[in-house]
Structures are given as structure tokens and as C-alpha cells.
Amino acid sequence: MPLLEKEPSLQPITLFEKLEEIAPGQLERSQLRTLQRRIVIHGPEQGVIFRQKHTPGAMGISDYTWANELNITLAGTHF
């Protein structure tokens, strides 16, 4: 895309609006997200992004609260 090659810092929404000007009525607003993804994939290298996928039950998170006084039991056994 020549606009992006000339100015790599352009935002996808700016490019989308320019494309709407060039080809009125040919784009749907739902195509903006696709354009955003493709710019990230094929555009200039970005800073490191750590994608997070949280799978239920895969990790327990604790704030190290001491809760012995709660007398929690699991299946009748003191926890």
C-alpha cells in the first residue's frame, strides 16, 4: 500500500478513510478490523506484544493471604 510505505506511522483508521475516499461505497465498516490486523501482521515491526490467553483452571492466582482461621474443608478434609 503506497500510503503506508510513504508514512509507516499512519493509523489504520486513517488509511481506511482514505480508501473510502478513493473507492466510495465499496467498503464496509466491518472491514476496518481486517485492515487493522493486516497492517499489524505485514506492517513495520512493532514493540514486543505478549498476547495473553487465559485458560480456565490452568493457573491459580494467589495474593498470599493467610486464611487458616477460615477453617476451609474440601470433601470433609481440612484444607
pTM (predicted TM-score) = 0.48
Report whether pLDDT(1) > 60.
Answer: no
More confident residue, 47 or 14: 14
Average the pLDDT over 54-66 and give the result.
72
Report whether pLDDT(2) > 80.
Answer: no
Please give the C-alpha separations between residue 77 and each of 64, 71, 74, in angstroms, as whole numbers: 21, 10, 5
Q: What is the pLDDT of residues 18-49, one digit of tens each?
A: 889 999 999 898 898 888 888 776 666 667 67
pLDDT of residue 52: 75
Cα separation, 4 vs 11, whole angstroms: 9
